[in-house]
Structure 1
Amino acid sequence: MIRLLRQLNVALRFTLELMGLAAIGYWGFHMGDGWMGWLSGITIPLLFATFWGMFGSPRAPFPLPPKGRLMLEALIFGLPGALLLGLMPVTAIIYLVGVVLNRVLIVYWKQENLIHT
């Protein structure tokens, strides 16, 4: 049973990554009118995904040291929730609670090797 919960926690991590990108895109679409909204709604999530892929993802070609990675995680997972607070506060709070719970379980179950490999 615990093994299944651990696997679900890793799946939750990936889901939170995707939800964070969607939240950043949603925020970007609402911050501009017309083509500026479209431009920011598409390019900002792409920039975040590229930055995460280069420095923070499990197979990053340029991995950061542990403290730098923790700071990057706080930015990549925390900023979407902060941006959504003004647009959809309940959704933002649910997302942020999921992020905190996921990170606590990663530390508790010693899953850092699964997300930093």
Structure 2
Amino acid sequence: MIRALGLLLLFLLELAVLVVGARWGWARDAGPAIRLLAAVAVPVVLAALWGVFGSPKARVVLPAAGKHAFQAAWFVAGGAMLASLGRPLLGVALVVVWAATVTLLRLGGRPA
């Protein structure tokens, strides 16, 4: 049950990074067409990267340390986007909740 809740939380955090990416793209200082393109392209690129390197069924199988590093960088990027949108505390919270969830799952003998 706890593993399922932890994995659900991680999935919701992954979705949150995609939403933040869309918001970050929309916030660019450009015309409406470029902003719309960025709002669509940023989460698509993020999702593609996650699918290739970060997901449990990733196309590129990285060693455990490489996968953890990629996932950490991905969530830190989400936190950085939130900070650049003027929400630094939410950015820190995103990264801290992700790190705490992964740590608890791993300490419980349940790799995330």
Common fold by TM > 0.5: yes
Q: TM-score, length-normalised on structure 2? A: 0.87
Moved over 6 A (4+): none
Question: 1:111 and 1:28 mapped to 2: Cα distance?
Answer: 35
Query: How many angstroms does 1:56 deviate by?
Result: 1.6
Percent identity over the alignment is 29
Q: Extract unaligned runs of 5+ from structure 1.
A: none
CA–CA distance in structure 1, aligned partners of residues 82 and 55 of structure 2: 23
Moved more, 15-24 or 27-36: 27-36
> 1:98: which partner in 2?
97
Whether the 8 Å contact between 2:75 and 2:94 is mirrored in structure 1 is: no
1:1-117 matches, within 5 Å, as 4-33=1-30, 34-87=32-85, 88-112=87-111, 115=112
Distance 1:111 1:39 in 2: 39
Encode CA deviations 1:61-103: one digit per residue, 9 max, x unaligned.
Answer: 2211112111111121111111111322232232222112112
Q: Is the 8 A contact 1:27 1:41 kept in 2?
A: yes
SS of match in other structure, 1:111: coil
Query: 1:55–1:62: 8 Å Cα contact kept in structure 2?
Result: yes
Secondary structure in 1 aligned to 2:84?
Answer: coil
Q: Distance between the aligned counterparts of 2:49 and 2:84, measured in 1?
A: 25
User: Which moves more between the two structures, 99-108 or 43-52?
Assistant: 99-108
